[in-house]
Amino acid sequence: MNAMDTRSASAVNEDELHALLDGRLDAAARADLEARLADDPAARATLQAWQQQRSALRNLYQPLLQEPVPASLRAAAIRAERAHSQALQWWRLGGMAAGLVLAFGLGWFSHGHSGRGDTLARAEPVREFIHQASVAHAVYAPEVRHPVEVGSAQEEHLVQWLSKRLGRPLKVPRLNEQGFELVGGRLLPGDDGARAQFMYQNARGERVTLYLGSTPADLQASTEFHYSGDGPVPSFYWVDEGYAYALSGTLTRQALLQLAQTVYHQL
């Protein structure tokens, strides 16, 4: 083997550099690699550059990593973990998530449909839709600087954008008389396509979110209205003209119900 073949065989590759940088080598492998690095200036330069990049990134985000987790996020995480544990337990017992969606009949409302009594919304698509609405609220409602993608100052653009993405003209309900001002909205993914979320806030800083999207295929004929305690926060859920809606928030059940009624009538 000539000198060129020897240098090629001992050249350090990027996988080995990553392993060294990440501390994934045992003592013998590390010593062997460091010895080969002594004869490979290009590999040494690459390793040094990576080390500097890692150090710069750590220094950049170190203050953020040292900040305490906001109490609202800790509480949301605890609630989400409890809900997840309960769901696993329910499925192990072989039943549908008991108490997942407690029906709260609101009578006929303005559409005059009969049969809107107290029933359990047991279908899996319903469970997923409500849970996604609740989790989306828990994720974005605590945000201080970026709670929405488009603020209320650009409401016309927000409505046009979300209407186009959801493929349906949308309307933003007004909750001013109930003390809640529109903060703005955002686009979210869903199992059946794009979803929209509108956020509202009152003078006390309490927030509620309206989550909406196309109705799961097997629920097209459903017009029932339900209360759900599933997920990090409670929600009221209903289906109307091929669309599903969920109003979520940490308000009392009665307060959330009153807001849901207002939203329902406006839509």
Domain range annotation of the chain:
3-66, 71-266
Q: What pLDDT score was predicted for residue 76?
A: 65
Which residues 6+ apart lie within 8 Å of 149 measured at CB? Answer: 184, 185, 186, 187
DSSP string, 49-74: HHHHHHHHHHHHHHHHHHSPPPHHHH
CB atoms within 10 A of CB 191: 12
**Structural fold of domain 71-266:** Phosphorylase Kinase; domain 1 (3.30.200)
Q: What pLDDT score was predicted for residue 5?
A: 45
Nearest to 242 by CA among 215, 224, 222: 215
Residues of the chain with pLDDT under 70: 1-10, 61-67, 69-124, 216-225
Q: What pLDDT score was predicted for residue 126?
A: 75
Q: What pLDDT score was predicted for residue 107?
A: 35
3-state secondary structure of 46: helix
Residues 79-111 have pLDDT tens digits of 666 655 554 554 444 443 333 333 333 333 333
| Beta-sheet pairing, 193-201 with 207-214 | antiparallel
Residues 13-55 have pLDDT tens digits of 888 888 888 888 888 988 998 889 888 888 888 888 888 888 7
Distance CA 23, CA 30 (A): 9
Distance CA 226, CA 101 (A): 7
Distance CA 45, CA 55 (A): 15
Distance CA 98, CA 90 (A): 7
Distance CA 28, CA 121 (A): 61
Q: What pLDDT score was predicted for residue 108?
A: 31
